[in-house]
């Protein structure tokens, strides 16, 4: 337990609409260890961002946390006072947002945005010290000091994204949550940024939760993988095990959506169909309508998350018969 940085137990969160409740995070439990790189993958709409925003305490007004516990270094993030939340967030847990490139303030220089972040959370510091921290943080993401006076529009997309990563790292948090941090970038820039994040994480040993719809980005850099479908975890385990022996038909579908890292190029599979509507979920397995291996029991009963071994588990009835 000593090495567990974040323990999420049975977390439930969602959005209350007139038609009913969208339970976008529906009973999520997971442990994140110190220095661990956790990749969370799943199609658009499966609840990845809702999970991230719940952890950051940044849910929208119509959102509600309806159950569970999130322990960060033993402290429940869901019951923090406003002041304690301010102390923890950004200093101990920071986030790189999906639309990070547009999150920079267009009328402030890069130096001001970085020093403002520092001084908001560490008001006792001098401006000179904050500027020094800004320079060091930019250097970590390979941006030279002479860009400190630049405005966001003077930087390329990849550079803006790296500034956002610098901002997330500047206070040396224990956990950085990255929600699709490279989606808007072209593939080459995306690769450079992923490699940079991976290098920095190894160098400074912070923990990362990296969220993306693109599983191919995650297999090389993650220690652990969590696959989400319709608000639930459908598979989790060490990245290598999930990649080599995907146990859930949905994970296999996601795997088939991208070319293998080595060996012959397979035809792109993809997964026909769409995830279910949260307001009209199937009675049994939520993946049933799209599953190429479905059986009668899958239509009737929702499957539990079953352990395959001590570290790898999947939510699929077929595992019980050993024929998934
Ligand atoms: N403010 C909101 N009000 C109502 N429903 C919402 C709200 N935000 C998200 N949702 C719904 O909650 C579900 C989960 O959305 P979420 O953004 O968490 O998924 P995601 O996996 O991060 O998708 P994406 O990659 O597209 O952001 C979706 O059905 C979405 O339409």
Q: CATH number, domain at 13?
A: 3.40.50.300
Q: From atom 12 of ligand 1, which residue's Cα is the shortest distance away?
A: 24
> What is the distance in A from the centroid of ligand 1 to the CA of 15?
9
Distance, CA of 40 to chain centre: 5
Q: Is residue 154 part of a domain?
A: no
> Is the shortest distance between the CB of 99 and ligand 1 below 6 Å?
no
> Is the shortest distance between the CB of 62 and ligand 1 below 6 Å?
yes
Q: Is residue 175 part of a domain?
A: no
> Is the shortest distance between the CB of 275 and ligand 1 below 6 Å?
no
Q: Is residue 146 part of a domain?
A: no
> What is the distance in A from the centroid of ligand 1 to the CA of 125?
38
Q: What is the pLDDT of residues 233-254, one digit of tens each?
A: 999 999 999 999 999 999 999 9
| % of the chain beyond a pLDDT of 70 | 94
Q: Is residue 149 part of a domain?
A: no
Find the domain containing 20 and state its range: 4-35+46-81+218-321
Q: What is the 3-state secondary structure (H, E, C) of 77-102?
A: HHHCCHHHHHHHECCCEEEECCCHHH
Q: Is residue 274 part of a domain?
A: yes
The pLDDT of residue 5: 98
The model carries a pTM of 0.93
The pLDDT of residue 216: 85
Q: Has residue 263 got a pLDDT over 60?
A: no
Q: Has residue 131 got a pLDDT over 90?
A: yes
Asked if residue 68 lies in contact with residue 8, where contact means CB atoms within 8 angstroms, the answer is yes
DSSP 89: B
Q: What is the pLDDT of residues 12-50, one digit of tens each?
A: 999 999 999 999 999 999 999 999 999 999 999 999 999
Query: For ligand 1, what atom is nearest to the CA of residue 51?
Result: 18
Separation CA 16–CA 65 (nearest Å): 10
Query: For ligand 1, what atom is nearest to the CA of residue 179?
Result: 22
Q: Is residue 254 part of a domain?
A: yes
> Is the shortest distance between the CB of 97 and ligand 1 below 6 Å?
no
> Is the shortest distance between the CB of 227 and ligand 1 below 6 Å?
no
> Is the shortest distance between the CB of 93 and ligand 1 below 6 Å?
no
Structure token pair of residue 213:
């719809």
- The total of structural domains in the chain comes to 1
Nearest to 21 by CA among 71, 67, 52: 67
Task: Classify burial at 13, counting beta carbons within 10 Å of its beta carbon; exposed 0-12, middle 13-18, buried 19 or more.
Answer: buried
**Dihedral of alpha carbons 3, 141, 185, 63, sign:** positive
Query: For ligand 1, what atom is nearest to the CA of residue 180?
Result: 25
Q: Is residue 189 part of a domain?
A: no
For a substitution probing ligand 1, which of 18, 40, 48, 65 has the most ligand atoms within 8 Å of its CB?
Answer: 48
Query: For ligand 1, what atom is nearest to the CA of residue 46?
Result: 21
> Is the shortest distance between the CB of 166 and ligand 1 below 6 Å?
no
Q: Is residue 112 part of a domain?
A: no
Q: What is the pLDDT of residues 188-222, one digit of tens each?
A: 888 888 898 999 999 999 999 999 988 888 988 99
Looking at 72-76, 263-267, 316-320, which range is the least confident one? 263-267
Interface pTM, i.e. ipTM: 0.98
179 - beta bridge partners?
211
> What is the distance in A from the centroid of ligand 1 to the CA of 13?
11
């Amino acid at each position: 337990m000593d090495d567990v940085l974040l323990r999420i137990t049975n977390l439930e969160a969602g959005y209350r609409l007139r038609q009913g409740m969208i339970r976008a995070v529906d009973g999520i439990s997971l442990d994140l260890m110190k220095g661990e790189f956790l990749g969370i993958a799943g199609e658009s709409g499966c609840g990845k961002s809702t999970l991230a925003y719940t952890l950051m305490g940044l849910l929208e007004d119509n959102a509600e946390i309806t159950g569970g516990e999130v322990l960060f270094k033993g402290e429940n993030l869901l019951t923090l006072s406003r002041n304690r939340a301010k102390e923890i967030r950004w200093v101990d847990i920071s986030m790189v947002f999906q639309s990070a490139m547009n999150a920079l303030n267009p009328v402030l220089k890069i130096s001001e945005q970085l020093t403002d972040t520092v001084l908001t959370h560490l008001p006792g510091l001098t401006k000179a010290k904050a500027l020094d921290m800004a320079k060091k943080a930019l250097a970590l993401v390979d941006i030279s000091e002479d860009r400190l006076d630049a405005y966001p529009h003077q930087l390329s997309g990849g550079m803006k994204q790296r500034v956002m990563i610098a901002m997330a790292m500047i206070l040396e948090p224990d956990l950085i949550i990255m929600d699709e941090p490279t989606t808007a970038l072209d593939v080459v820039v995306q690769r450079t940024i992923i490699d940079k994040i991976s290098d920095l994480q190894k160098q400074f040993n912070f923990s990362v939760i990296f969220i993306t719809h693109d599983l191919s980005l995650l297999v090389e850099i993650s220690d652990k993988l969590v696959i989400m479908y319709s608000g639930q975890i459908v598979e989790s385990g060490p990245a290598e095990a999930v990649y080599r022996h995907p146990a859930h038909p949905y994970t296999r579908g996601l795997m088939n959506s991208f070319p293998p890292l080595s060996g012959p190029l397979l035809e792109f599979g993809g997964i026909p169909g769409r995830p279910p509507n949260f307001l009209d979920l199937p009675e049994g397995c939520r993946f049933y309508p799209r599953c190429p291996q479905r059986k009668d029991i899958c239509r009737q009963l929702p499957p539990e998350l079953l352990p395959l071994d001590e570290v790898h588990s999947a939510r699929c009835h077929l595992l019980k018969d050993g024929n998934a």
